[in-house]
Amino acid sequence: MRATHIYWFGRLSLFLIFFWFGALKVFGVSPAEELVMHLYDKTLIELLAMPQFSILFGLFECSLGILWLIPSATKIAFWVFLGHMMTTFLPLFFLPEDAWNDLFCPTLIGQYIIKNLALIGLALFVFGFSTQRFLDGDTPV
């Protein structure tokens, strides 16, 4: 398998995850809705009504997914992604009752959040691969 195939699989995976999960938020059927609402209540409640926030947040995630499909937008996608990832870890600190059963024992929600480390690894791969020459001598994407 060529490195470019792995690279494009990574891009498609990031697109699919962000676009799909974002669309679920837009349509109000996301299983993460309760977690988002709890964090919203602790952080943004004074700034924007929850229904509008949920739709805008979903559209943001869909847009981020689309950015991962555009090689020339990789740098933007990566930095926006990192900002978003920082917010996804907030429940571990702001909502410990939702994220932890006990010390070092995450709830299912906590596991859902911690798995974002794998997404960060994938994004680092795609970003790094898109900014350097391929191992087999091809030009950068």
Residue 13 within any structural domain of the chain: yes
Residue 38 within any structural domain of the chain: yes
- Asked whether 21 and 13 are in contact (CB, 8 A), the reply is no
The count of domains in the chain is: 1
Confidence (pLDDT) at 137:
52
Residue 105 within any structural domain of the chain: yes
Residue 65 within any structural domain of the chain: yes
List the domain range (segments joined by +) for residue 119.
3-130
Cα 78 from chain centroid (whole Å): 10
Q: Is the pLDDT of residue 4 over 80?
A: yes
Residue 30 within any structural domain of the chain: yes
Residues paired with 105 in a beta bridge: 102
Residue 117 within any structural domain of the chain: yes
Residue 136 within any structural domain of the chain: no
Residue 120 within any structural domain of the chain: yes
Claim: this prediction has a pTM higher than 0.85? yes
Which of the four pLDDT bands, split at 50, 70 and 90, describes residue 1?
Answer: confident
Which token pair is 73?
A: 């937008």
Q: Is the pLDDT of residue 134 over 70?
A: no
Q: Is the pLDDT of residue 21 over 90?
A: yes
DSSP state of 31: T
If you average pLDDT over each of 42-46, 48-52, 68-72, 128-132, which comes out highest?
Answer: 68-72
Rounded to an integer, the average pLDDT of 96-123 is 96
Q: Is the pLDDT of residue 87 over 90?
A: yes
Q: What is the largest CA-CA distance in the chain?
A: 53
Rounded to an integer, the average pLDDT of 88-111 is 95
Q: Is the pLDDT of residue 125 over 90?
A: yes
Share of the chain above pLDDT 90, in %: 79
Rounded to an integer, the average pLDDT of 50-77 is 96
Which of the four pLDDT bands, split at 50, 70 and 90, describes residue 132?
Answer: confident
